[in-house]
Amino acid sequence: MAKIKTTYFCQSCGYHAPKWLGRCPSCGEWNTFVEEVIQKEEPERGSWRSGTVTKTAPKPKAIHAINFEEQPRLSTPDNELNRVLGGGIVPGSLVLIGGEPGIGKSTLMLQIALGLQDLRVLYVSGEESEQQIKMRAERLPVPTSDCYVLTETSTQNIFRTIEHFEPQVLIIDSIQTMQSSMVESGAGSVSQVRECTAELMKFAKESGTPVFMIGHITKEGSLAGPKVLEHMVDTVLTFEGDRHNTYRILRTNKNRFGSTSELGIYEMLGTGLRQVTNPSEILISQREEALSGIAIGSMLEGNRPLMIEIQSLVSIANYGTPQRSSTGYDNKRLQMLLAVLEKRGGFRLGQQDVFLNVAGGLKVEDPAIDLAVCAAIVSSYEDIAIAPSIAFAAEVGLGGEVRAVSRIDSRISEAEKLGFKQIYISKYNTKGLDLKGYRIGIKPVTKLDEVFQGVLV
């Protein structure tokens, strides 16, 4: 008879203890321990290759003696996903994609599955019926492909199907609905999520089949399940965006096979997700007349330069303490720049409400937009519009100096491609830069005063 025992798991980080604890010693969270029943038993027939392969004990091997061959990545018809993954799908990789409910995770994965024309794809759903998936596939403008659908939640039954079907790509929707008979707790619990992920990881590494897993998130915005889930997988993607906005952003939080600073941008339409090949055009508003408080800045997301619109509104604080509010930008950095403008620039902003917004719903961390933020705030304060043909790409220091930023040539080329006439950069960025090689007017400056005298006319 199988031995049954109970243990307590932290729902936040996955730490386990033999008895209930009020505070988790690993993550420090309170009242997160729940009791789960774990049954230790022999693997039954139906687990991935359980009992069918006899392995010898592994022996240590010198790293120079390991045979290595570069495996070609699987290219998908989705160029945005290829960029985020680092150039395509790596064979044998385990990819986790998370996001808000209704953001479009299942639509993205189904669209990818239908777009892989020459590969046999198995789409396993534990949340939708076959008719619901078919209904969603009908509105996607993707030709017929070798995509097969399986509605199942038991990992043992899934692996039985895999051994006969032998898919080349496996998609799990979602990992929180999967359940393994090796663990007695319910689907979605910490132990179930960890066990199911371990079985899928073993399958991916031994068979060389890439596996995509859709994951839920908690109300705090983090991926549901133990933190070890993110450590086990090769790549963690996050699908972000406001459900009331049509644009979605695919970010990389972890990638063992590429950069973690890349992002892909999509537009949600009635016919599925459309790739946005030139995001700068949608991030800059089309205006018929110039308005004060608006400046265009240059930022980098991975290797991709983007021109984004910074909107600012400065007004007299009539209700007591002045407000400092920002959307898409670090509020502490905003307060620092306001202090610089008041101390070094002489602008009386202490009794002014300041509101800042990054158009398009992006969250920006690149310090190269500091100059655009300062220009937008001063423009709104003075109620003088900045010409829409002017862009900014520089960091601002505490002394009011304009500092150099990385990859200035890419930023200038992107501004030139979009038709900007002038771009203000730091004078220290001009070393080794061929100023005559650009059609756009490059304005090197060292202080904020030089910028305001040039644009506020």
Which residues are annotated as part of the binding site?
99-106
Structure tokens at 361: 């719903």
Q: Tell me how far apart the alpha carbons of residues 202 and 54 are, in angstroms, rounded to a whole number.
A: 15
Residue 49: is it exposed, middle or buried by C-beta count within 10 angstroms (0-12/13-18/19+)?
Answer: middle
**CA separation, residue 290 to residues 8, 183, 298, 390, 419 (Å):** 61, 63, 19, 12, 16
**CA separation, residue 432 to residues 152, 265, 429 (Å):** 60, 33, 8
Q: Tell me how far apart the alpha carbons of residues 364 and 438 are, in angstroms, rounded to a whole number.
A: 27
Structure tokens at 2: 């199988």
> Which helix (H) or strand (E) is 374 found in, with range?
helix 370-382
**CA separation, residue 124 to residues 127, 393, 394 (Å):** 9, 46, 48
Which among 182, 208, 215, 207 has a CA at the least distance from the CA of 196?
182
The strand ranges marked E within 302-440 are 304-316, 324-327, 352-358, 390-393, 395-396, 402-403, 422-426
Burial 296-327 (b: 16+ CB within 10 A, else e): bbbbbbbebbbbbbbbbbbeeeeeeebebebe
Residue 238: beta bridge partners?
A: 98, 251
Q: Tell me how far apart the alpha carbons of residues 12 and 243 are, in angstroms, rounded to a whole number.
A: 26
Q: Tell me how far apart the alpha carbons of residues 358 and 366 are, in angstroms, rounded to a whole number.
A: 12
Residue 410: is it exposed, middle or buried by C-beta count within 10 angstroms (0-12/13-18/19+)?
Answer: middle
> Coil, strand or helix: which one is 377?
helix
- Residue type at 63? I
**Is residue 154 within 8 Å of residue 181, measured between CB atoms?**
yes
Residue 17: beta bridge partners?
A: 8
CA 338 to centroid of chain Cα atoms:
29
Burial 208-224 (b: 16+ CB within 10 A, else e): ebbbbbbbbbeeeeebb
Sign (positive/negative) of CA torsion 434, 436, 440, 445?
A: positive
Could you tell me which residues are annotated as the binding site for ATP?
99-106
